[in-house]
Structure formats: structure tokens, C-alpha cells
Amino acid sequence: MSTFPFKKNWWKYLGALLVIYSIVIGTMTKVGPGVVRVSPSHVDGRYDFEIDIEGYNTSFTKLDKGKNQKNELTVWVKLGNTFNRANLADIIDDNHIRCYFRPIDLIVDSAYSQTGSVVIEDKHHGIFLGPDMIHVDFRPDKDNGLRQLVNQGEPPYKMQLSYFSFPYRYILNETIRNLNFHVPMWFAMMAMLLVSFIFSIKYLRTRSVSDDIWANGFAKVGLLFGIMGIATGMFWANYTWGTPWTNDPKLNGAAVAVLMYIAYQILRSSLEDENLVGRISAVYNIFAFPIFIVLIIVLPRMAEFSLHPGAGDSVGFNTYDLDNNLRKVFYPAVLGWILVGTWISQLTVRVDKLIKQDEEWYG
């Protein structure tokens, strides 16, 4: 008998620790600077042009305005793989700069327009960018058929911010952190329901009441995570998509999935005979789980349009998490919530077993 508390239940401590880590780091980390708006968003690349850039979480006035400005603030318009450096960047206030560009010369045969990103290097923050924010037009120049890229500046050294931060996303702003709190709910739900599914199969093989109770315990906590995911998602959506509920395939799938597992609980409580409860709910659970996976993963992925990442034409993780900082919080959060969910399931199972025992003894 060891009194060392970590020996047998180390995973509970680990789970609690990971959840605490994800909440602390997920709320404390700054959201890095970003580009909110570029105006005008359409410029003619053949002539001198100027653009106003509105930043988020930027602190341009802290930069030196003197003659050393060149080392403090550099702005590029990135077209394809070429970086076109601004001649001059005027600091207006903390969140606004005005940049002046020389003509961008490209060798083109026909009228041509390209979408470019704005890349900013700032001494305090490092390098950040506004992806696909500016359209540059070119028309062929008959007089000088062949022209060179005259304005190609030195590309930035490394596309990275100089400190640990979450990426800035337009409209999402600070709520990008919710990725670490909302999405792990669904991962935890899937894990809980998978375990419940396995116990249901095991029950049909062994017909042991214990397996049935385990399957039910995990299904209950899976349902809890589903409700937590929907509630947090609706609140988040209300302030980013503008409405708590849209006709998104993932939303509808999740709602049906949650209803399916509520039905599972109702089914269990509606049957009297113990053997019948076990068998019918095990069969229901075995059928419900694959449908749940189809509803929540397969169908949204096949959908043509979804507001959620990873479906149809929408962007996923990779496109905006430049330095993988979200992942450093997200994956521990997923593991942490799965472990904590397992812990709660175990508690539920223990209580259920005691109740069962109590009923057998006292009737």
C-alpha cells in the first residue's frame, strides 16, 4: 500500500493539470498584431500608390519616427513569391499607418490582377501579415515590352512574431482563444462515446451488469460534453457569426447527435426489466455511435459550405496558425478534458453501482 497520491491515479492529476494549463495559457496569451483593413483594397500597380493600413493590437507610435525608422518598421506587399517593399511608412497612430509604394513592374502580356498579402515587420512585434488583403492590377505596357521587377525589396527574414501569441483573425479577434475551450468538448465527447460504444459491445458478449453501467456512465458524460460544446458554440457564434444558430452542417449534425444520446437516456429510464435495459440500450448505443461519427465528422466534411473549419472550401488550422501556438494549447486541452471526462465517468459509474447495490439489498 502506497500513500503516494500519484501512483494509481496519476492520470487524474495529469488531466486536471492539463485543463488548468489550457485555461491559464489560453486566457493569458496575447493575441498577436494583425491587419484589419487595407484601403484602398484595389490599387493600380503601374503607378505610385499609397495604402492605409489599420492594425489590431499594434503599437506603431512606440516606434522611432526619426531617421532610423527604416529598421523599425517595414511594409511589403507580397504578390506570389515577390516582396514589394514600401518606400515610406507614415505612422498616424497606434493602429494606423500610411504606406507609399513605387510602381510594381511585372512582365505581363495581358490585363492582369493579382491578390497580395500585406506583410509588416515591426521592431516590437516581429513579422505579421494580413493575408490576401490587396488586389493589384497590371496592364501590359506596349512601350517597354520587357521590364524588370524594380521594386523587389529584401524579403523578411522569418515569418514569425517575436513572442508567444495567438494569431489574429478578422472578426474573431480575442475569441480565437475559444478554440481551446469549445473544440476540446467535441473531442472529449467523441472519446467518451467511443468508450461507451466499446463497453456496449462488451456487454453484449459478457452480459455483465457492470459493463452496462460503464457504458451508461461514459454515455452520460459524453452527453454532458455535447451540451457543453453546443452551449459554448452558440455563445461564441452569437458574437462572431452574428447569430447563435445557423444552418451549418456541423451545427445540425451536433444537435441531432446530442438529441440521439438524450434519447438513449430516456430509453434507459423507460424500461423496467434490467436485462431488457441492458440489451436494448447496448444495441441502441452500438447503432448510435457510427451515426454520431457520420453526423459530426463525415457529413460536415462532405458539405460544400460550412462556417466551421475543415469543410468544403473553408480554411483550417494550418492557414492561419503560423507559429503553431494554438496547437501548443489545443492538444493538451483535448487530452486534459478527455482525462477529466474519464474521471467524471468513473465517479458516475461508482455512484450508479452503489445505487444498484443498494436497490438489490433494500429493494
Partner 1 sequence: MVRLKHIFTCIAFLCLNITVFAQQQEDQDFFFRSGKYYVVAAVLVILFILLFIYLRRMDKRVKKLERRA
Whole-angstrom distance, CA of residue 91 vs CA of residue 104: 23
- Binding part of the chain for partner 1, among 119-127, 236-244, 285-293, 317-325 by CB under 8 A, reads 236-244
- What are 53's three cell numbers? 493600413
Q: Give the nearer residue to partner 1 in terms of CB position, either 46 or 356.
A: 356
Asked whether 318 and 309 are in contact (CB, 8 A), the reply is no
The whole-angstrom separation of Cα 147 and Cα 299 is 50
Task: Please tell me whether the peptide bond between 40 and the residue prior to it is cis, using omega within 30 degrees of 0.
Answer: yes
Of 115, 134, 131, 117, the closest CA to residue 168 belongs to 131
Asked if 231 touches partner 1 (CB under 8 A), the answer is: yes
In this structure, what C-alpha cell is assigned to residue 200? 456496449
Q: Binding string, 37-56, against partner 1, x = CB under 8 A?
A: -------------------x
In this complex, which beta carbon is closest to partner 1, that of residue 298 or of residue 354? 354
Instruction: State the minimum distance, in angstroms, from the CB of residue 355 to partner 1.
Output: 6
The answer to whether 132 touches 119, Cβ cutoff 8 Å, is: no
Which residues, numbered 327-356, are part of the site for partner 1 (CB under 8 A)?
344, 347-348, 351, 354-355
Nearest distance, CB of residue 70 and partner 1, angstroms: 30
Nearest CB to partner 1, comparing residues 51 and 251: 251
362: contact with partner 1 by CB under 8 A: yes
Place of cell 500585406: 118
Is there binding between residue 23 and partner 1 (CB under 8 A)?
Answer: yes
The nearest distance, CB 33 to partner 1, in angstroms, is: 12
**Minimum CB distance to partner 1, residue 170 (Å):** 12
C-alpha cell, 270: 423507460
17 binds partner 1 (CB under 8 A): no
Q: What separation in angstroms does the CA of 5 have from each of 2, 156, 285, 342, 343?
A: 8, 51, 35, 18, 15
> Is residue 59 within the footprint of partner 1 (CB under 8 A)?
no
- Smaller CB distance to partner 1: residue 331 or 343? 343
Residue of the chain from 125, 177, 250, 268 that contacts partner 1 (CB under 8 A)? 177
- Smallest separation (angstroms) from partner 1 to the CB of 258: 13
How far apart CA 282 and CA 206 sit, in angstroms, is 12
| List of residues 6+ apart from 337 with CB closer than 8 A | 15, 19, 184, 185, 187, 188, 225
C-alpha cell of residue 334: 483535448
> Looking at 94-138, which runs of residues are DSSP E strands?
96-101, 112-122, 126-138
Nearer to partner 1, 70 or 350 (CB): 350
Residue 42 DSSP label: E
Least CB distance to partner 1 at residue 186 (A): 13
> Considering only residues 240, 252, 265, 346, which one is a binding residue for partner 1 as defined by CB under 8 A?
240
Q: How many CB atoms lie within 10 A of CB 10?
A: 12
Only one residue has cell 444537435, namely 255
Q: Does 196 bind partner 1 (CB under 8 A)?
A: no
- CA gyration radius, the chain: 28
Stretch that binds partner 1, among 83-91, 93-101, 233-241, 283-291 (CB under 8 A): 233-241
Neighbouring residues of 159: CB distance < 8 A, sequence distance ≥ 6: 119, 127, 129, 322
Q: How far is the CB of 183 from partner 1 (least distance, A)?
A: 11
Among 11, 21, 235, 245, binds partner 1 (CB under 8 A): 235
Report the nearest approach of partner 1 to the CB of residue 210 (Å).
Answer: 18
94 binds partner 1 (CB under 8 A): no
Q: Using CB under 8 A, list all residues that contact partner 1.
A: 23, 27, 31, 56-57, 172-175, 177-178, 181-182, 185, 221, 224, 227-228, 231-232, 235-236, 239-240, 344, 347-348, 351, 354-355, 358, 362
